[in-house]
Copies of this chain bind each other. A is one copy, B any other.
Amino acid sequence: MRIGELAERTGTSRRLLRYYEEQGLIVAGRGPNGYRDYDEPTVDRVIQVRGLLDAGLPTRIIKQILPCLDKPRTIYFPDATPEMIATLEAERDRMTRRAECLLRNRDAIGEYLDAVREYNRVQV
């Protein structure tokens, strides 16, 4: 598919799709005219990238972890250097903390909303 379709299906501007490619987060084939040509799995890939970006990860990190997230596993394990492993472990832990922070505060918002609803119920 071409960039317009991918943009529409992922809710992402063309500009950003080109940016993600520049950052090495997605790859695109090229047609005989220089048009970019994307395959189907790229749709999910873009959605995944956006989720990670939205969750606060920078493209630099996303690029590092993306290869590990492929199913089925296609990675050539020997390439996993100790530094790489350490980076991944650190990032995994940071993601855990991030998620915990998010859920904790989300629950607090939920409690607040409950309290407001209760207040309104009694008041009305």
Contacts and interface: CB of A to CB of B under 8 A. Distances in A.
A97 B51 CA distance: 8
A80 B120 CA distance: 10
B56 A105 contact: no
Nearest to A120: B77
A96 interface: yes
Given A96-B106, A109-B88, A101 B54 contact: yes
Nearest to A66: B105
Interface in A70-88: 71, 73, 75, 77, 80, 85, 88
Contacts of A88: 109, 112-113
A116 interface: yes
Given A56-B54, A98-B55, A69 B105 contact: yes
B48 A105 contact: yes
A1 interface: no
Given A55-B98, A99-B102, 5 more contacts: A52-B105, A55-B102, A65-B109, A77-B119, A92-B109
